[in-house]
Structure 1
Amino acid sequence: MATATSDPQPAYVLHARPYRETSALVDFLTPGGRVRGVLRGARGKAGSLARPFVPLAVEFRGKGELRSVSRLEATGNSPWLVGEALFSGLYLNELLVRLLPLEDPHPRLYEHYAQTLQALAQGRALEPLLRAFEWRLLDELGYAFALDRDSQGEPIAVDGLYRLSADEGLERVFSFAPGLFSGADLLAMAVADWEAAGALLAAKRLMRQALAAHLGSKPLMSRELFRKP
């Protein structure tokens, strides 16, 4: 019986690692979700394409959570990412490998990822791009929460203080403690007003807390790149 082969689909490589003697085990991001495939002959031409950020057309053979890559072609040039833009791209890839289930379609997330890579290559400010992608990822996975209302459905108060509950969302508190978020910062985040003082820094803390609940205790390796001199 012939093995079913998929139609070519757009894809990006998220991660690749050696597999057996001459193959690679590759995680791809496609509009149909994250797909894991075995790329044979990875030391040849196909292997040179199996690197991050190159827009690809990929055909997969077989079913289940481990496919065989039957065809791999570049469909465009890789965006030129260097320095912190490169680290940012690797951070996005690690988030997707860690959080995105296999074979779970997210076409809007795929498009947002491709647009974010282009924006990084254009030298746009990193922090707003990263916060927007983190939020889109949380939303696509069903983990997002309201930024303009608290867990009780009440509007966020400009002068209020809030904490994040991974299960409930934003909860208002009435005594100061480290790690809280001001209502003013939350409302600025809700409309992506990154000119508001403190909003970007607060958004970074908020996204880190929100993601931590789903990433578990294993640290993200890509974050260490930003800390190196």
Structure 2
Amino acid sequence: MEWRDEGIIIGCKKHGETSLIVELMTPKHGRHLGLVRGGRSRKMQPFLQPGNRVEAVWRARIDEHLGTYQIEPVEMTAAKLMESAMGVNAIQLLGSHLRLLPERDPHEAMYSALEVLLEHLDQPEIAGPLMVKFEMRLLDELGFGLDLSCCAGSGVRDNLVYISPKSGQAVSAEAGAPWKDKLLPLPQFLMKTSNRECSVGDLADAFYMLGFFFDRDIYYPRGVKPPESRVGFLHAATKKWPVT
């Protein structure tokens, strides 16, 4: 068995005295692991770091095996990511999120979103909203997507300001008024029909809203704790948010 694909490193684990198990996110083969022999050498370690873009050839005798990678660097971004708290927390959070997807299951949309996010991690006012949209797409991929098309109560498509915690569907201001204390906020920058830019408060509201659904539908059923890097990313992004 053999394939060739581009990929972004999302994790590395020591194996034996000299090798690494490298975890890639690829467009055609999804999240995929492989052994890199000699990966802990001085020559290879600098580019076998989370966040770097690489070209990879994977080989194995049969498809079910771990297999081995032959990896060549394409774009070295890991060092830049490690320079800031936002970059460190972002790559850790992205890795945690992508591990929620089945291994070796292609998710080209998630790979594209990962590429775009990594390109903007030096701009918190862009990276913050992109992370929110990455999480929304991930919920879709996992089968727990939110419905922002119309109001869950009345069916109207205007003035949607809440999310129902039960259905994950938008709720209008009028329909939700009697139960507003029990509904989740719906930041307007997430609406396709809105021109509102994301503020620090909007970003915090979006993380709170999405965190509810991740906790209820994904983390709790799987018996895992939410990644600490999610809180770290939000704190780092809002701390560096430009003053307007």
TM-score by length of 1: 0.79
CA gap 1:70/1:10 in 2 versus in 1, 3 angstroms: same
Task: Please tell me whether the aligned partners of residues 148 and 187 of structure 1 are also in contact (alpha carbons under 8 angstroms).
Answer: no
Aligned to 1:215: 219
Question: Is residue 11–residue 23 contact of structure 2 (8 Å, CA) maintained in 1?
Answer: yes
- Over the aligned positions, Cα root-mean-square deviation in angstroms equals 3.0
Q: Could you say which residue in structure 2 is the equivalent of 1:148?
A: 149
Q: Is the 8 A contact 1:23 1:43 kept in 2?
A: yes
CA distance in 2, matches of 1:215, 1:50: 29
- Aligned residue runs from structure 1 range 46-125, under 5 A: 46-62=44-60, 63-64=62-63, 66-78=65-77, 80-81=80-81, 82-97=84-99, 99-121=100-122, 124-125=125-126
Which of 197, 202, 205 is the matching residue for 1:199?
202
**Other-structure match for 1:37:** 34
Q: For 1:169, what is the secondary structure of its paired residue?
A: coil
3-state SS, counterpart of residue 16 of structure 1: strand
Is the CA contact (8 Å cut-off) linking 2:19 and 2:38 kept in structure 1? yes
Residue 170 in structure 1 maps to residue 163 in structure 2: no
SS of aligned partner of 2:137: helix
Identity of matched residues, %: 24
Mapped to 2, the partners of 1:48 and 1:57 lie a distance apart of 15
**Counterpart of 1:11 in structure 2: which amino acid?**
G
Q: Secondary structure at the match of 1:177?
A: helix
Structure 1 residues not aligned, in runs of 5+: none
- Summarize deviations over 1:55-112 as a string: whole Å, max 9, x none: 1001111244553223100012326222323322321122112x11101111121112
Instruction: Specify whether residues 65 and 86 from structure 1 end up closer, same or farther in structure 2 by C-alpha distance, changes over 3 A only.
Output: farther
Aligned length: 219
CA displacement at 1:155 relative to structure 2 = 2.9
Whole-angstrom CA distance in 2 between matches of 1:175 and 1:214: 25
| C-alpha contact (below 8 Å) 1:148/1:186 kept by paired residues | no
Contact 1:128/1:194, CA 8 A, preserved across alignment: no
Change (3 A) 1:204 1:221: closer
Judging changes above 3 Å, is the alpha-carbon distance between structure 1 residues 189 and 139 closer, same or farther for their aligned structure 2 residues? same
Equivalent-residue separation in structure 1 for 2:97 and 2:201 (angstroms):
25
Residue 32 of structure 2: SS of its match in structure 1? strand
Contact 1:22 1:40 in 2 (8 A): yes
Structure 2 unaligned residues grouped into runs of 5+: 240-244
Partner Cα separation in structure 1 for residue 30 and residue 126 of structure 2: 27
Question: What is the DSSP-based 3-state SS (H/G/I as helix, E as strand, rest coil) of the residue aligned with 2:67?
Answer: strand
Distance in 2 between residues matched to 1:189 and 1:200, nearest whole Å:
10
- Equivalent-residue separation in structure 1 for 2:187 and 2:198 (angstroms): 13
Q: Structure 1 residues 143 and 85 mapped into 2: Cα distance closer, same or farther (>3 Å)?
A: same
Q: Secondary structure in 1 aligned to 2:69?
A: strand
Aligned-pair distance for 1:210? 2.0
Partner of 2:117: helix, strand, or coil?
helix
The more displaced of 143-152 and 209-218 is 143-152
8 Å contact from structure 1 (residues 37, 66) kept in 2: no
